[in-house]
Every structure is written in C-alpha cells, then in structure tokens.
Amino acid sequence: MRMFLGGSKGFSLYEDGDVTQASTQRVLCLVRTVEGGVLAGTADGQVLAWSGAGGATVLAKDLGDAVTSLALARSGRLIAGCLPVGAWRSKDAGESWTPIKSLAGSPGADSWTAGDGAGSLPAAAAAVTAVGTNHKDSKTIYVGIQVGGVYRSRDGGKSWYNLGLPCPDVHSIQLSAAKPERVFVTTGCANNGSGGAFCSDDEGISWRQMGEANRCQYTMGLAAHPTEPDRVILSAAEGAPSTWKSNAGCDLYLSTDSGRRFRTVVKDLKGGVRRRGLVINPRVPSEAAFGTTTGELWYSNDGGESFDLVAEDLGDLHAVAFA
C-alpha cells in the first residue's frame, strides 16, 4: 500500500512499511492530484507539490499564516482555505493564485470567532478549516469557518450564502462524488446537543444530524465512498483536541445509510483523528485508512468494515491520502 502522510514530522510517502521524506515542514492538509501526485498545505502558509520521488516543490508562499484546507475540482480549479479566515483559488492546479476577497464580506462575517484551533491551529483568529467543490460544477464552492458555519458560492467565489448549519464550529466538508447534491460536514459542539456530523441532500438548503446515538460526538474526520453514496466512515472523540493529550477516547463509525445509523468499527483510540486524517481510496474504494495524533496508521481493505494497525511512531498525523 502507498499513502502520502502529512503531520508534525513533515511530508512523506509510506510504502509497505518504508517512509520516504519529502519535507520536514509541518503539514495540515493534503489533496491528491489527477496525475497521482499530491499537494500539501503547511502550517507556515505554503502549498507544496510532490510526485513521491525527489524533493517537494513550493507552489505558493504566504497564503495566510497557515494553509488549513485544500480542495481540487475535476476541472483543475484548486481552492485553499487559510488562517486567519481567507481563501485563495488557482485555475491551473496551483501554478498561480488569486485571493477570494469577497469571503471577508459575507453575511455574518463580523461574528466569526476562533475555536480551540482544532488542536493544531492558534486560537487567536477564526480560520477556514474546510473547503469543498461540487464534482460536476467547479464554480460551486463550499467553505467551513471555525467558528462561523458553512458558506456556499455558486459563482466561483464572487458571492456567498450562509447555509445555516446548526453548529458553527466546522471541522471538515466533503461532497459525495456519487451524489453531488449530498454534502457532509463534521463539527464540534459535542456537549450542547446540536453538534456532531451533519448531512444535506439538497446542497446545504436543509440539514439532518448524523449518528445521534453514537457514543462520541466531537466529530473530525469523515470519508464518503466515491461510488456508494450511502456509505460513509466517521471519526469522533469524546471532546475537543485540547483534551486529547491523555486519551482522546476516539471511535471510528461506519454507516451504510448516509449516517442515519452507525456501527462502531474501532473503539477508544488514545490518539484522535484530525480533520484530514481519514480517507477512502478513490481509485480502489475497498481501501480506507486513518492516522492519529499519537502516530498510528490504520488500514482497511474491506471498505471500512474493519481496520488493522499497520504503522506507529509517525508523529502527529494531520492528513492521509492514497498515492
């Protein structure tokens, strides 16, 4: 198995037990390119590109204090979310960048606040912690603000609409490749009854809470199956990342009915799973993987029905992507 890894130890390729390092810069997010390479957003505001051999190439510098999220559309349009709140777009897969200045003027922007940084970001300012693009329409963009909610643009970022998510503490956004109108969002707000994960079947017009019976509700990572729209894997911890140092109490859940019911497939991990730490292989959907804050890498070859621990001591893993 071949996976790109990003985290506190930098940017690397894991291949059947061997680790090849590309960069020592702390990585917060990864996105796989159509050519089989990977793009990484770093904690110092850079975007790196790597094919898995040689050294990494710097595509962008100073996109904010940190690049917290990346999304790549089939058209090649790339969206980067940043700390403090900001977003950039590239029409040429990262060769050149333009700021999306309209986001700062969105309805409700004056109420955006910082969360606990999802355990990896400074808590001094709000951040764009999640971005997503529609698989059929690259001009339809979603951004998630921690803490500020989910916003959608249908015109490539010229104007934005607040989608009214019940919990504004947004961690990740994922659009279904099999059903583009379906949007999944993970959030915090674990203890007030309105948090956890949410699903929309109408592009964010309405939302339903997922997995209300799950033991853990502080949701972070989520992986949607690329061809089975109702299959989704979710990670959730007992509380915020600031409480994970001793024991995150993190569970992995699997649903085959788009989150109406879940069953636990991994229970009570000491390390938490971060926002970009859980993934399904888009080319081989029977494969799934996740990394933890304690440096463990877990792998599934049965679509998330079960996971095996395959590597340890990999640092605080922020992001995983199949190579």
Whether CATH 2.130.10.10 fits 62-322 = yes
Q: Write out pLDDT tens, residues 30-76.
A: 999 988 899 999 999 999 999 888 889 999 999 999 999 999 988 88
pTM of the model: 0.94
Task: Grade residue 281 by pLDDT with cuts at 50, 70 and 90.
Answer: very high
| Domain boundary assignment for the chain | 62-322
Q: What is the pLDDT of residue 36?
A: 87
Q: Please report the pLDDT score of residue 183 as a whole number.
A: 98
In the chain, % of residues over pLDDT 70: 96
Q: What is the pLDDT of residues 134-163, one digit of tens each?
A: 988 889 999 999 999 999 999 999 999 999
Question: Distance between CA 56 and CA 247 in Å, rounded?
Answer: 34
In this model, does residue 277 exceed pLDDT 60? yes
Please state which of the ranges 108-112, 196-200, 206-210 shows the lowest mean pLDDT: 108-112
Confidence check: pLDDT of 208 > 90: yes
pLDDT above 70: residue 119: no
